[in-house]
């Protein structure tokens, strides 16, 4: 029987709340630490919730003093690329200073195992695809730079202090808990699938397709249909990788600071995603075609062979319609005849 307690930092947000479910399903005890600035207290379920901020060493010290934990999972990053460009201080304070505060508190209380939520944004513009872990890391925005700074710090903390960590570089998280126990809520919403499903919900409620608010940036990329291609991983598969990483750390098998891509390995274009959403929802979703955004690569697809070889992980919910179906069931359940993407939406990651 598993008796270890895991502290999920940012456990009231999208991926964090799904991780709380996955840990509880696997038999772990869970404690959540979240400032609720972009998360929801109802998302953590029966898990104890400590309301605190990474930027406050006092909050962190009180959490570790009150709860004896064996391992930390850290999801509490700010993760909007555009916001990171306009508000970089916010990102450096939360993502860098806040994480260093977390590492200090962990060391003080003898907690030396960390699973860190990283990102493919550390790679920047790809030299080749699919992208593996040996690809140069040249982030092109403050968000990606803050994540890379922590990855580099974790190497130094392993060498100097013996902190064991596994950093997981996500591509595009998507989908919702297949049992509709948790879902995706952001404010503002920037992820493609929820944006398309919001338009599908508007159509289901009698909207005019000519009033579509869905925007497609670029239809002239050198791809099969002119729209850019991205790699989507179901959130349940992301959580499964975190469980494998936790097992590796708790078994003392990790070699200092380790890094793994989490990717489906198959890319889907924006127009393919829209078509699949039409199929799943039965709604005639339309969109506005706009010029490309600066810095948008044509193709971002990951290579997750290292995670398969070392963690024994691979994406299981890999088909696009299945990913979308879990998200649509959540939207449909939450809407109750009104949009889930209303003013109460948000996320703590």
Render pLDDT for 79-120 as a digit per residue (tens, 0 to 9): 999 899 999 999 999 999 999 999 999 999 999 999 999 999
| Residue 245 near residue 314 (C-beta atoms within 8 A) | no
d(CA 66, CA 83): 34
- Nearest alpha-carbon partner for 341 in 243, 140, 199: 199
- Does pTM surpass 0.85? yes
Q: State yes or no: pLDDT of 185 exceeds 60.
A: yes
Residue 27: name the closest of 57, 4, 60, 52 by CA.
4
From 28, 91, 143, 232, active-site residue: 143
346 pLDDT above the threshold of 80: no
3-class secondary structure, 231: strand
pLDDT tier, 3 (very low <50, low <70, confident <90, very high otherwise):
confident
Query: Is 143 known to be catalytic?
Result: yes
Q: Would you say residue 340 has pLDDT above 50?
A: no
In the chain, the domains with their CATH numbers are 5-174+232-262 (3.40.50.720), 192-230+265-300+316-336 (3.90.25.10)
DSSP H helix total and E strand total for the chain: 11, 13
Longest dimension (CA), the chain: 61
Residue 1 — very low, low, confident or very high, per pLDDT cuts 50/70/90?
low
């Amino acid at each position: 029987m598993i008796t270890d307690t895991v502290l999920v930092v940012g456990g009231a947000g999208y991926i964090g709340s799904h991780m709380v479910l996955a840990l509880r399903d696997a038999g772990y005890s869970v404690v959540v630490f979240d400032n609720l600035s972009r998360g929801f207290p109802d998302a953590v379920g029966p898990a104890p919730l400590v309301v605190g901020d990474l930027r406050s060493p006092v909050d962190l010290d009180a959490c570790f003093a009150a709860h004896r934990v064996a391992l930390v999972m850290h999801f509490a990053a700010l993760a909007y690329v555009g916001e990171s460009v306009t508000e970089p201080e916010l990102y450096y304070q939360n993502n860098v200073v806040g994480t260093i505060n977390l590492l200090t508190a962990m060391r003080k209380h003898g907690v030396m195992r960390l699973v860190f939520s990283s990102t493919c944004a550390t790679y920047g513009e790809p030299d080749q695809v699919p992208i593996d872990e040996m690809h140069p890391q040249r982030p092109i925005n403050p968000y990606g730079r803050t994540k890379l700074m922590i990855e580099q710090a974790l190497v130094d903390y392993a060498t100097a202090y013996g902190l064991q960590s596994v950093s997981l570089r996500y591509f595009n998280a998507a989908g919702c808990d297949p049992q509709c126990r948790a879902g995706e809520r952001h404010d503002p919403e920037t992820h493609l699938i929820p944006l398309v499903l919001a338009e599908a919900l508007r159509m289901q409620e009698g909207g005019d397709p000519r009033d579509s608010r869905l925007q497609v940036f670029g239809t002239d990329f050198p791809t099969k249909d002119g729209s850019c291609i991205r790699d989507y991983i179901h959130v349940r598969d992301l959580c499964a990788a975190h469980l494998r990483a936790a097992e590796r750390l708790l078994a003392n098998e990790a070699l200092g600071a380790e890094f793994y891509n989490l990717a489906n390995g198959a890319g889907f274009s924006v127009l393919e995603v829209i078509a699949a959403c039409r199929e799943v929802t039965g709604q005639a979703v339309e969109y506005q075609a706009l010029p490309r955004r600066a810095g948008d690569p044509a193709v971002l697809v990951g290579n997750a062979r290292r995670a398969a070889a070392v963690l024994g992980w691979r994406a299981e919910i890999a088909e696009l319609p299945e990913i979308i179906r879990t998200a649509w069931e959540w939207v449909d359940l939450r809407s109750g005849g009104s949009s889930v993407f209303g003013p109460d939406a948000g996320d703590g990651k």
